[in-house]
Amino acid sequence: MVREPIHALVWTEATEPEDVYPNGIAATVAEHLNESSRVAARATSIEADQQGLDDDALEWADVLLWWGHRRHDDVTDETVDRVVSAVRTDGVGFISLHSAHYARPFKRLIGGSGDLGDVRWEDPGEAEVLTVEAPDHPIARGVESFALPNTEMFGEPFDVPEPDDVVLRSTFPKGGEFRSCVTFTFGDGRGVYLRPGHETFRIYHHPSIRRVLENATLWAGR
């Protein structure tokens, strides 16, 4: 039996710097995902019709990957309603990337603020170490602990419900740690939060991050 590929819709608010991601983060992630025969990915953005998330797009998608940073409040109530319904009722997976812990659909899905601890810094000279905490989870398949040379630190506490699994945990040389890849169940849909992805660094080109994104897409998109 030939398996149909997972349909992945990659969304961005289109504020990432062009010198780091000339084609945008959504197109970059979609391009990497399309290297897998098991995924068919499309890129969209808040600038598209109906903010890139009309009924046809959500009906096509098995999983939605969401990158946001500065324009969370520009996402309309109607868009949030469509996304949450697609996830909870129709079983579309939802992968929240980096600062999308403040994305309006993510906050609605978790029923919380998504707030971070007060400690936060950006330092291109200090490596972050990501440790695989759940090696048997499908998202960790083929992934060993690794380091990101350029990073932005997020600090605990992280105001989300108790996750189903903590797949990756980050530690930082200046102290502190963070649950950097966690999973949730949102009604009929599967959810993932993946922290690495600060827009001033080319993190979505890192081979381990690319593998985690592919695994998360396959797992959340089922």
Burial class (CB in 10 A: 0-12, 13-18, 19+), 73: exposed
Structure pTM? 0.95
* CATH code, domain carrying 90: 3.40.50.880
Position 23 in a domain: yes
How many domains is the chain partitioned into structurally? 1
Within-domain flag for 155 = yes
Residues 6+ positions from 32 with CB-CB distance below 8 Å = 204, 205, 210, 213, 214
Supply the pLDDT for residue 119.
63
Tell me the DSSP string of 14-82.
S-S-TTT-TT-HHHHHHHHHTTSTTEEEEEEETTSGGGG--HHHHHH-SEEEEE-SS-GGGS-HHHHHH
Tell me, yes or no, whether 192 lies in a domain. Answer: yes
Question: In this structure, is residue 1 part of a structural domain?
Answer: no
Give bridge partners of residue 191 from the DSSP assignment. 94, 184
Report which of 221, 215, 222 is spatially closest to residue 138, judged by C-alpha positions: 215
Instruction: Encode the chain (222 residues) as per-residue pLDDT tens digits.
Output: 457 899 999 999 999 999 999 999 999 999 999 999 999 999 999 999 999 999 999 999 999 999 999 999 999 999 999 999 999 999 999 999 999 999 999 999 999 999 998 766 665 556 889 999 999 999 999 999 999 988 888 889 999 999 999 999 999 887 788 999 999 999 999 999 999 998 989 999 999 999 999 999 999 999
pLDDT at 206 (0 to 100): 96
Structural domain containing residue 36: 6-221
- Cβ of 174: how many Cβ atoms within 10 Å? 9
In a domain, 50, yes or no: yes
- Contact criterion met (CB below 8 Å) for 160 and 114: yes
